[in-house]
Homo-oligomer: A and B are copies of this chain.
């Protein structure tokens, strides 16, 4: 299973690169360099750049849902559990950012379809498995999208007291259903 490890290594690298630069902005060469392999090998492994991105997004969705289920299983308050799960996901910056880029490409035939399917599966899980009502679920997703945005735009690099206030508010447990987040996670 050495080849399976190689594949995971490339997917990790691709997740980082796609998260930073987006689907069209990222190059297969940048992915290859980040993974320590040659550019043609990356293409050979997945066929096309598009197939590679789809694999990255699908894996990100799988990890997201898995992280939610792990926390929900060991938890009391579902909303608090989902918040905790988000903490772990923030450690892998590329994961949420790659998803965000996929969400932004709704007109792409395959990427858009996968993005919609993924978002609905997440919504279904926090509604049916976690048991949140529609308003709670919407609020949870809304705060998640804002967190994704402030991370993507690197708001922590802005030297402005209002930026600090916004970050603190977005990440504070009281602000929404996302408990347990602290600002130190954003500087990575």
Residues of chain A at the chain B interface (Cβ within 8 Å): 20-25, 97, 100-101, 103-107, 112, 115-117, 119-120, 123-124, 127, 134-135, 137-139, 141-143, 145-146, 148-150, 152-155, 157-158, 160, 162-163, 165-166, 168-170, 174-176
Contact = CB atoms under 8 A, between A and B. Distances in A.
17 contacts: A22-B22, A22-B25, A22-B104, A23-B25, A24-B24, A25-B105, A103-B152, A116-B153, A116-B155, A119-B150, A134-B166, A135-B175, A139-B139, A139-B142, A139-B176, A141-B170, A146-B146
Contacts of A169: 134-135, 137-138
Contacts of A107: 20-21, 154
B22 A153 contact: no
Given A142-B143, A169-B134, A170-B138, A162 B24 contact: no
A21 B116 CA distance: 17
A78 to B, nearest CB: 17
B119 A142 contact: no
A150 B106 CA distance: 9
A163 B115 contact: no
A168 B152 CA distance: 27
Given A124-B162, A146-B138, A153 B23 contact: no
A162 B122 CA distance: 11
A112 B25 CA distance: 14
B163 A116 contact: yes
Contact of A170 (B142, B149, B152): B142
B160 A119 contact: no
Contacts of A170: 138, 141-142
